[in-house]
Amino acid sequence: MCPSSIKEFEKLLKEKISQFEKSVHYSSFLDLLFRELCISLEMNVLKKINNSLSALLTEKQKTKKKEALQKCFQRQMRFSLVTTDGKAH
């Protein structure tokens, strides 16, 4: 199957590779694959890819931090409902 557009190319490769994302080897495979694929790239292209991945990491870190803060806030709210006599109001 030969893709006719960049979107089709992206879709076909993503479908093929992502079917293995449950494998314990998936993240190591991606690391090695990206490394091998990027060896021949020009520095400006490699920098663009690096920036895209860094932005993705930052988004995930913000989401995780927000979720942790929400859990902490919910826990504090539950504890604040308990009075000194141990009864909830």
Please report which confidence band the pLDDT of residue 87 belongs to, taking 50, 70 and 90 as the band edges.
low
Kindly report, residue by residue over 28-40, the tens digit of the pLDDT: 999 999 999 999 9
List of residues 6+ apart from 9 with CB closer than 8 A: 3
CATH for 1-40 is: 1.10.246.60
pLDDT digits (tens, 9 = 90+) for 41-86: 999 999 999 999 999 999 999 999 998 888 888 877 777 765 555 5
Domain residue spans in the chain?
1-40, 42-89
What's the confidence (pLDDT) of residue 85? 52
Interhelix angle 26-38/43-80, nearest 10 degrees:
150
